[in-house]
Structure 1
């Protein structure tokens, strides 16, 4: 492979001049810049990224640690982050925490050792010593999708409160009164926020919050199925089950069908967090949709500001309700209803 010395020799300039051209410095004459760029093209020269990072203390990489790569939400989010980062000239190194604090810290430590320029973190339930140390040192860190109480860290997340209120209003308008909710873990900010939004929406429509209709899950399909089994075994089962994420909704659907029940004829089903294949199920599933693509883009931009030392505002995006047929309704003309509230 051609070296920077080869480029300098071919262009008739010093190695320092080649370096200035490659780093887009203005302190190079136009003729010299043209000769360097021509030599780079002729020789097929590619800068050594590792060597450059040792000199500049920058690697043009960012780290992304997500909660669960098997969850379609995180898969789409990672793609959005990667697309935006690549457009900004960064590569992304991804770690899958599998919702485990120890695995999260393993990837965080590994990414720091690889000298990433910044880190996007979907934190697990615990404030680990490693994460706290990063915050105290002022490391370029942005929380994504979730937050940790007590830590002053910029974040990019979605507020689904208005969309959940729209969902409950929609179900109430269809005549449903017995509404159950399968929540995510109370240890996660997203689990707490979605449960709070659902119970507040019930109260706003004069519906009693029945403790037996609030079932705990863990954002995994198996917990959605187990919770649905308990709900359907109640003396007075719910008319509609709202799952706190897409995987738990699939688990709920499995249990409903295993019992020989029909959706929505015997029980309605709705989900927080829409996924493309919900539209292709029979019946299509009503869901609260998060703006995943925009969330990923805004998170990368927030991290770029953080890495550059610029002020970073908290990013809070609004979810929206997508009305389909899994709760007994016929989908309206455009099958999307925008959330009416503001985060």
Structure 2
């Protein structure tokens, strides 16, 4: 005969002869009960088919071990990668991450926060949409739950922010492109999905001025998260029309650049450093696919691990101290230039 199926902790307490409070204490921290009691519980666990629902156990505590993680779009490999890093940081610290995607929709971001509120999380790590976010909803949520934002900064809201220094990063790649060839034009969407795009445009303007070149910005129609399609369609249109004033294009993000590389290939335009190459294309973010494009994409790498671990450790510090920060913290990491064959 198979093991008796136990549905909940009450039933397990009845068959094991161990009180429910003692079982809860054990499942929260096995070393917190006496050795003899721990051995009895572990013997009962081996005898009966029971494992506690970690989320249900958490909900019965005054302070749970659940950490909400909300990102704009898990279909975007950038957020998949940084979300993975955040999940690993939570697990390593003994927290249970609950990863939610807003699927590119600000209304879903608000719905995700409402869902998390019902789960009573110990804290939340949020990569917001920025200006498209419901600022009031985030502010109300932050009054009840410790929140650290990452990637995109909603200034003045939540306990802390962790991200990349866009001004340092853009200066780094503009300086390289100017030094190694013609100064870059800047390619972006008119309606960016992420506030980092606005900072990158401003950083480009300032960097070009410092290097003594006139900025050339090309904004194209498009919104949402179909970056590759926009880069291919609109970038291809500009290449065909000879609209770029120099042979070098710096894209607002790697996904736009990947689309433009595809358009250049379709048009028979050689991209890179070789004698038969007539165009250089660069991006920003070091998207997980950027090293595998043809040619591989020159870009700026964000330190996913550093951002994820600093955001998580800051949130854990707030949770474990049981006090809010006296002042809002902002931490930005430098980007790293990654030189590949495209520029």
Over 3 Å counting, the alpha-carbon distance change for 1:23 and 1:261 in structure 2 is closer
What's the TM-score, normalizing by structure 1?
Answer: 0.82
Deviations 1:298-319 (A, max 9, x none): 2222222233335484332221
| Partner Cα distance (1:252, 1:93) in 2 | 35
Residue aligned with 1:102, SS: helix
Which deviates more, 11-20 or 46-55?
11-20
Displacement of 1:127 in angstroms is 4.4
Paired position in structure 2 for 1:258: 266
8 Å Cα contact 2:30/2:38 also seen in 1:
no
8 Å Cα contact 1:183/1:216 also seen in 2:
no
| Partner Cα distance (1:35, 1:243) in 2 | 62
Residue aligned with 2:69, SS: strand
| Partner Cα distance (2:110, 2:76) in 1 | 20
Residue aligned with 1:146, SS: coil
- Whether 1:131 aligns to 2:147 is no
2:44 corresponds to which of 16, 27, 39: 39
8 Å Cα contact 1:183/1:217 also seen in 2:
no
8 Å Cα contact 2:109/2:133 also seen in 1:
no
Deviations 1:258-312 (A, max 9, x none): 3221102121000001134322332221110111133222222222223333548
- Whether 1:115 aligns to 2:115 is no
Over 3 Å counting, the alpha-carbon distance change for 1:35 and 1:94 in structure 2 is closer
Over 3 Å counting, the alpha-carbon distance change for 1:29 and 1:242 in structure 2 is same
Count matched residues: 324
Paired position in structure 2 for 1:221: 228
8 Å Cα contact 1:117/1:307 also seen in 2:
yes
Displacement of 1:160 in angstroms is 3.3
| Partner Cα distance (1:96, 1:22) in 2 | 29
2:180 corresponds to which of 174, 181, 194: 174
- Whether 1:293 aligns to 2:305 is yes
Paired position in structure 2 for 1:341: none
8 Å Cα contact 1:278/1:285 also seen in 2:
yes
What's the TM-score, normalizing by structure 2?
Answer: 0.82
Residue aligned with 1:298, SS: helix
8 Å Cα contact 2:25/2:32 also seen in 1:
yes
Paired position in structure 1 for 2:285: 273
| Partner Cα distance (1:4, 1:113) in 2 | 22
Which deviates more, 268-277 or 294-303?
294-303
| Partner Cα distance (2:69, 2:39) in 1 | 38
Residue aligned with 1:324, SS: coil
2:162 corresponds to which of 156, 165, 169: 156
| Partner Cα distance (1:138, 1:31) in 2 | 40
Over 3 Å counting, the alpha-carbon distance change for 1:277 and 1:24 in structure 2 is closer
Paired position in structure 1 for 2:294: 282
Residue aligned with 1:242, SS: strand
Gaps of 5+ in 1: 328-343
8 Å Cα contact 1:302/1:313 also seen in 2:
no
Residue aligned with 1:321, SS: strand
Which deviates more, 95-104 or 264-273?
95-104
| Partner Cα distance (1:140, 1:163) in 2 | 29
